[in-house]
Amino acid sequence: MPVQPDLDYHAHLAEGRFMLPADSDGVPFYPPRAVVPGTAADTVRWIRASGRGTVYSSTTVYKRAPEPSYNVALVDLAEGPRMMSRIEGIDPADVRIGMAVTAHIRKNEAGEPFIVFEPEASA
């Protein structure tokens, strides 16, 4: 059974908003939890994420044809937290550490929202 912070996080995504939990000073953390990491304070508020991030790490999961390969990436969000996701819109083997990415909300086969990232357009 999901706990309330996880339900709140997914409710925000379902409404088209990428929100992060934060402490009372507005310092965000991820993943969502009922208490602030490091302090155990139970005052958690939600702030809008910019959606910008940088690839910290990535690995390609190679599948047998006809299934497409995909990547699993750790992304450092501009706000500070690091989250696991994947990078879309690029060949999985072309994802590079330090690549600037932008978050997008997608839905899985069951209609549940989740975050993926795409490379930022080059200037």
Write the DSSP string, 43-84: --EEEE---EEEEEEEEEE---TTSPPEEEEEEEETTS-EEE
Q: What is the pLDDT of residues 5-54, one digit of tens each?
A: 899 999 999 999 999 999 999 999 999 999 999 998 988 999 999 999 99
The pLDDT assigned to 122 comes to: 63
The pLDDT assigned to 1 comes to: 45
- pLDDT of 82 > 60? The answer is yes
| Range 56-85 average pLDDT | 96
Instruction: Quote the pTM value.
Output: 0.91
Residue type, 116: V
- Residues ≥6 apart with Cβ < 8 Å to 38: none
Q: What is the pLDDT of residues 83-123, one digit of tens each?
A: 999 999 999 999 999 999 999 999 999 999 999 999 997 64
